[in-house]
Amino acid sequence: MRAKGQAGNPVTILDPVHGFLRLSDAELAVVDTGVFQRLRLIRQLASAYLAYPGANHTRFEHSLGVMHVSGLSSSILEEKGYMNADEKRMVRLGALMHDVGHGPFSHVLDELIYEKGGESHEDTSQRVIKKSAIAEALSSHGFSPKEMSELAVGKSRSRKGFMNELIAGGLSADLMDYLLRDSYYTGAGFGRVTIERIIDSFEVHNERLALQKDALSTFESLAIARYEMFKSVYFHKTVRAAESMVLRAFQLCDEELRLSNTKDLNLFLGRTDESVIREILSLDSHSQEIRKSQQLVRDYLGRRLVKCVYEKVILRRERIAEKILSQQPIRDKLRQELADDTGIDPDHIFIDIPTTPSVPFTSERESFAGLELLTKKSGRIQVSRVSLADLPTVQAISGYMDILRVYTTSENREKLEKASRRILGVPDYSEKISV
């Protein structure tokens, strides 16, 4: 539901997670661009609906939610004297635009784009904000597209440091909205955290976001919720099976469709989850790569997914798997080794290694190692820093969650399972390869 008043009055939108959301004229101008409206056609969780049927929510409503949560956070900090009304408006706008650089299937295509050109979706978001219709919408309301593009991805150097943290990082509006929203739509209860308790306790110390000390237990709940959602939803083996198939389909037809090309914004912004599937199926089947890509897409649509035959979950303090992911030939080498051992067509073997810190990054993309805690007594402020090592519950899950999985088609399942255990059945996969 969307109710619009007279010019200058906020627009009200009803959201199932947060209730009524109010948009200013500038926010509405951004939302009404075609660039932003396309987010209605990009699922927030890509293929998760194949495991969780309710997970059909999109980047559009998530973006509105992040704007709303960042507004709640900014209002608290404005009340406490850390920021002013203009800065609050900037944070809300930046939060609203934080995901405009996502393409079809979100992080699936992001992986291909990074593999081909080393560009992240944050890089793409900045270009979209500066070069698309969003730039005109911002300029017409007195905002600098360049400055807003930096703030939207938590990289502004011209603004207070904690403003970046409100949008991206371990206490960000992005994190708080996706935990609540993804939990709501999947039915998984892990992400249901009382974010208001965290937001009400926000403070600022040395230009960094801090918490009142008595909210520490709620922060622990937030960290655990994120860990559980990654383990049970985002890295669910069925979800990753589907996304491995989509990624391979994208790789096989990338030369034909230029899916990894983000420099041509008209081409990139014209694609959505459904339209890119139609494009692949509409290609002239003139090559073996295209035919394989099309078959993968048809199997995906029919939920004829590859099967997991091997899985190893490892929690590390160092990000070993990032090295694996940054070197696609290593995964190709493993796939070829398994193919040579079994005689299975390597195109029927899928190696998946998603990786993430179980406790998120800061806005500077550094490991979230601790936070500042403030205590106010008799008008005096005491500040202490708590590291994750001081929080036994969070320390137990901190680090990086590496999940190595091998998938294949049903007919090859037994043979590949035995080969995977022979080749990969070592205590630590990082000892098996040189990275």
pLDDT of residue 430: 40
Helix (H, G, I), strand (E, B) or coil at 310: strand
Q: pLDDT tens, 388-405?
A: 767 766 766 666 667 889
pLDDT of residue 269: 96
| Confidence bin at 363 (pLDDT 50/70/90) | very low
Comparing 213-222, 282-291, 315-324, the range with the smallest average pLDDT is: 315-324
**pTM assigned to the model:** 0.90
pLDDT of residue 386: 80
Contact 87, 40 (CB under 8 A): no
Rounded to an integer, what distance in angstroms lies between the CA atom of residue 240 and that of residue 237?
5
Q: Is 319 exposed, middle or buried (0-12, 13-18, 19+ CB in 10 A)?
A: middle
Q: pLDDT tens, 185-203?
A: 999 988 888 999 999 999 9
pLDDT of residue 376: 78
Average pLDDT score over the chain: 88
pLDDT over 70 at 272, yes or no:
yes
**How confident is the model over 272-301, as a mean pLDDT?**
97
pLDDT over 90 at 426, yes or no:
no
pLDDT of residue 83: 96
Rounded to an integer, what distance in angstroms lies between the CA atom of residue 239 and that of residue 263?
29
Number of H helices, E strands in the chain: 20, 11
Contact 277, 283 (CB under 8 A): no
Q: What percent of the chain has pLDDT over 70?
A: 86
pLDDT of residue 41: 98
pLDDT of residue 55: 97
pLDDT of residue 275: 98
Q: What percent of the chain has pLDDT over 90?
A: 67
> Domains plus CATH for the chain?
2-237 (1.10.3210.10)
Comparing 78-92, 230-244, 355-369, the range with the smallest average pLDDT is: 355-369
Contact 126, 101 (CB under 8 A): yes
pLDDT of residue 331: 78
pLDDT of residue 155: 93
